[in-house]
């Protein structure tokens, strides 16, 4: 999609939908958030280079575990049903040429409001194996992009079954807050800006203070966090 043309269309027509052309929010999930900083959108502001970002998911892809499991199961499972499933096609991440930002935007972003959240919702079932490309392996618990899948109404398709009431509550919670943020720049719930609290998103919203503090104790007490910036 020509993003410049899309933004121009929004400027001309958003008032028809009750929107304000002076308040437009560009959403991006994971690496796709870099799209709004592409060469066409800010060619005079960014120094770019062609590259492909490292992909930790691929680096830790569990195909070796599947290979070992297949050989083990063939000894104990006469029908080999699980073995066939584990030995089937695994959709891997593709290495492609893209343009990524070389500049460090941390300094200019330090004064922007940040709302931090962690998805703690456990779906009512594992990811549907036919959801090609979403996960290289079945995930029973919260997984990367679960919030984006829920936001765009794709959770039922990903799970391959009707949503439970908790699934629907989680979807409504994510959609309501992120849409409200796009409209007003603030979250709808009693959700303070980070670092005051971190929101935990499940079928309902709860707040955690000093989230992951215990797990970060070693780095914090040894002064290693000073090297993060």
- For 33-56, what is each residue's pLDDT tens digit? 555 555 455 443 233 323 334 444
- Rounded mean pLDDT for each run of 10 residues along the chain, 229 residues in total: 76 87 73 53 37 44 50 52 60 60 57 83 79 59 83 88 94 91 77 87 91 80 66
Tens-digit pLDDT profile for residues 101-119? 555 555 655 667 788 899 9
For 4, other C-beta atoms within 10 Å of its C-beta total: 11
Contact 136, 129 (CB under 8 A): no
pLDDT for res 35 = 55
132 exposed, middle or buried (CB, 10 Å; 0-12, 13-18, 19+)?
A: exposed
In whole angstroms, give the CA distance from residue 180 to residue 188. 6
Gap between the Cα atoms of 74 and 82, Å rounded: 9
Going 40 to 109 to 206 to 131, the CA torsion angle's sign is positive
Q: H-helix or E-strand containing 218?
A: helix 217-221
- Rounded CA-CA distance 102/120 in Å is 32
Read off the DSSP letter of residue 9: H
């Amino acid at each position: 999609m020509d993003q410049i043309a899309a933004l121009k269309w929004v400027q001309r027509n958003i008032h028809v939908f009750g929107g304000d052309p002076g308040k437009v929010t560009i959403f991006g999930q994971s690496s796709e958030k870099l799209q709004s900083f592409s060469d066409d959108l800010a060619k005079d502001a960014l120094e770019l280079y062609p590259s492909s970002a490292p992909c930790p998911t691929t680096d830790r892809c569990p195909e070796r575990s599947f290979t070992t499991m297949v050989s083990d199961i063939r000894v104990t499972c006469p029908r080999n049903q699980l073995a066939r499933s584990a030995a089937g096609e695994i959709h891997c991440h593709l290495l492609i040429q893209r343009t990524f930002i070389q500049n460090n935007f941390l300094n200019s972003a330090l004064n922007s409001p940040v709302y931090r959240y962690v998805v703690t919702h456990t779906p009512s079932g594992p990811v549907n194996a036919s959801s090609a490309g979403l996960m290289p392996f079945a995930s029973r618990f919260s997984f990367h992009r679960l919030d984006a899948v829920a936001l765009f109404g794709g959770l039922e398709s990903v799970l391959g079954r009707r949503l439970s009431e908790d699934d629907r509550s989680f979807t409504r919670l994510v959609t309501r807050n992120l849409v409200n943020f796009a409209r007003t720049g603030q979250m709808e719930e009693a959700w303070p800006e980070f670092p005051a609290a971190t929101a935990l998103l499940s079928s309902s919203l709860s707040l955690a203070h000093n989230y992951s503090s215990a797990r970060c104790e070693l780095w914090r007490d040894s002064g290693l966090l000073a090297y993060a910036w």
